[in-house]
Amino acid sequence: MSSSLDRLKALSGKLEEKLSVKESLFDDEFVKQHTIATNVVNTNLNLQNNNNATQNIEDRNYNMQRLMKLFNELEINEKCPVFDDIFSYKAMNLAGIGLKDDDFGEVRAGKYIQIIAISYEANQDNEKKKAKNISLGYFGKGEGLDLSKKYNIIEFILRWRYEKGFQNIDNYKHLLEKLQMVSNNISANS
């Protein structure tokens, strides 16, 4: 019985230690006052009521304006001179900073901060595509990263993914419209 109690106390101590480490990550007073834990956010809420098509267009326009500004501020334009070319990449990741709910915004100790774009190129030997990682931005060790720059880097990745999601939706809408036209032609010819 006492060994179970000891294990429970040890686990409780580890949990408290992890919580205190998480709290110490946000030592900037602004972050403490203006950050919402991602597990608290109601996932059923649409971003600024996206049920309204006009609002959806406004959200997308604002997103693109911010993305373009961050593109220049973070000097991504040095690696990818044409803004629209960033959407030719299949994915974009962030090395050195967590983007998952459980580690969102945390700088990984000893890691370098880097924006990595992923493209796929056909392999010369066969038609199988090979993933290629391209560094769009290198920002040095995470420990020395300015807090506002960290937020700009995270915002850039999230805004790029947001726009890429819109582009994927547009593509599927186009494909569904094409399918509907083919279906209507088949129905008319039957």
- 170-186 confidence digits (pLDDT tens): 888 888 888 888 888 88
Q: Does a structural domain hold residue 118? A: yes
Same-domain check for residues 73 and 138: yes
pLDDT per residue as tens digits for the range 28-48: 443 443 344 444 444 444 444
Q: Is the pLDDT confidence value at 79 over 60?
A: yes
Nearest-CA neighbor of 70 among 168, 149, 139? Answer: 149
Do 30 and 67 lie in one domain? The reply is no
Both 69 and 149 in one domain: the answer is: yes
Based on the fold, state whether residues 6 and 67 are members of the same structural domain.
Answer: no
Note whether 90 and 116 are same-domain residues.
Answer: yes
**61 and 21 co-located in one domain:** no
Mean residue pLDDT across the chain: 78
Residue with tokens 């960290």: 150
Do 158 and 180 reside in the same domain of the chain?
yes
Quote the distance between the C-alpha of residue 111 and its chain's center: 18
Is residue 28 within 8 Å of residue 147, measured between CB atoms? Answer: yes
Same domain as 159, residue 119: yes
Q: Answer whether residue 149 shows pLDDT above 70.
A: yes
The count of domains in the chain is 2
Statement to judge: residues 112 and 30 lie in one domain: no
* Structural domain span for residue 18: 1-35
Cα dihedral value 168, 173, 178, 182, nearest 10: 130
Q: How far apart are CA 29 and CA 50, in angstroms?
A: 32
Quick one: 19 and 101 in the same domain? no
| pLDDT attached to residue 52 | 64
- pLDDT tens for residues 120-139? 877 776 677 788 899 999 99
Q: What is the pTM of this model?
A: 0.66
